Amino acid sequence: MLEARQIGRAFPGGTVALDNISLTIAAGEIVSIVGGSGCGKSTLLRLLAGLDRPSWGSVWVDGKELTAPHPSIGVIFQEPRLMPWLTVRQNVGFGLAHLPAVERRARVDAALENVGLLDYGKRWPRELSGGQSQRVSIARALVMQPSVLLLDEPFSALDAFTRVELQEHLLELWSGSKPTLVIVTHDIEEAVALGSRLVVLKPKPGRVATIFDVPLERPRDRVSASFGEEKRRVLAALDHSLLEYRKIAAE
């Protein structure tokens, strides 16, 4: 279980990026965090990853306070962030240096096969497309068998076709070991397609506007009326928070 208790983050210079965010995320859940730019989405994810410390409040993982990156929390960034000097195999095995070579090889093979890139093991990152690179980055996180996977706008740099393909692929991978997924995104369709729960943030400072469940069955049909209805709900929530913000700004 991953829990944020009234966390906030202020940066030097006084900007408050996040204020008073409380979230409880159950094991195996998929949570989409949506919001426009300036809502502190990425800041929130960095706090949940232990890459940054909250200025107030605290983050708890399985009953312990999070103070640094946690072995069972994996992170996938917006960019693949592969090490250009390592081959695809070596990149995937980056976090497995402590394992004996035989076991490492077996796990890297399995992870590469999961993302459909078994034949690409000897390639350099520069020889991959954007979608392939992001798959390698997913394999690098999954090979650690994390119980929580945090994704920071993971598909936003990809074209529309690759994006949908990788979203479906992510769900497929999730249905295996069911790790908790927390996905930060500004793409409403992505949020609805993936999340079993949706957290809508509002800006300046970033706070939770509303949280609601997405009652759609999986696999989800993106062109169905009920899917459209969920998208409208998110849009309405975002609009509402935006209107509210404008009103405050006008006063």
Partner 1 sequence: MAVLEESGTGALKAPRAFKSGARRTRCLRAPLWGIILPVLLGAGWELAVQGGLAEGRLVPPPSAIFETLLELARSGELWTHVQATTVRVFAGFFAGALAATVLGAIVGYSFALRRLVDPSLQALRSIPSIAWVPLFILWFGIFETSKVTLIAVGVFFPVYLGVLGAIASVDRKIVEVGNVFRLSPIAIIWRVLLPAILPAYVIALRSGLGLGWMFVVAAEFMGASEGLGYLLVDGQQLGKPQQIVTATLVFAVLGKTSDWLLLTVTAPFLRWQDSFANRTG
Place of tokens 């995937």: 92
Interface mask (CB under 8 A) for partner 1, residues 106-135, using x and -?
Answer: ------------------xxx---------
DSSP alpha helix (H) spans, the chain: 41-49, 88-92, 101-114, 130-142, 160-177, 188-194, 225-250
Q: How far is the CB of 15 from partner 1 (least distance, A)?
A: 19
Contact by Cβ (8 Å): 128, 74: no
Q: Given the complex with partner 1, which of 77 and 120 has the nearer CB atom?
A: 77
Q: How far is the CB of 27 from partner 1 (least distance, A)?
A: 20
Bridge-based pairing state of the strands 56-61 and 73-76: unpaired
d(CA 58, CA 67): 9
Does position 101 bind partner 1 by CB under 8 A? no
Which residue among 12, 13, 63, 84 contacts partner 1 (CB under 8 A)?
A: 84
Q: Taken in order 223, 225, 230, 234, is the CA torsion positive or negative?
A: positive
Q: Which of residues 36-55 bind partner 1 (CB under 8 A)?
A: 49, 51
Residue 18 β-bridge partners: 9, 206
Does position 212 bind partner 1 by CB under 8 A? no
Bridge-based pairing state of the strands 180-185 and 148-152: parallel
Q: Given the complex with partner 1, which of 28 and 95 has the nearer CB atom?
A: 95
Contact footprint for partner 1 (CB under 8 A)? 49, 51, 68-69, 71, 74-75, 77, 79, 81, 83-87, 94-95, 97, 124-126, 144
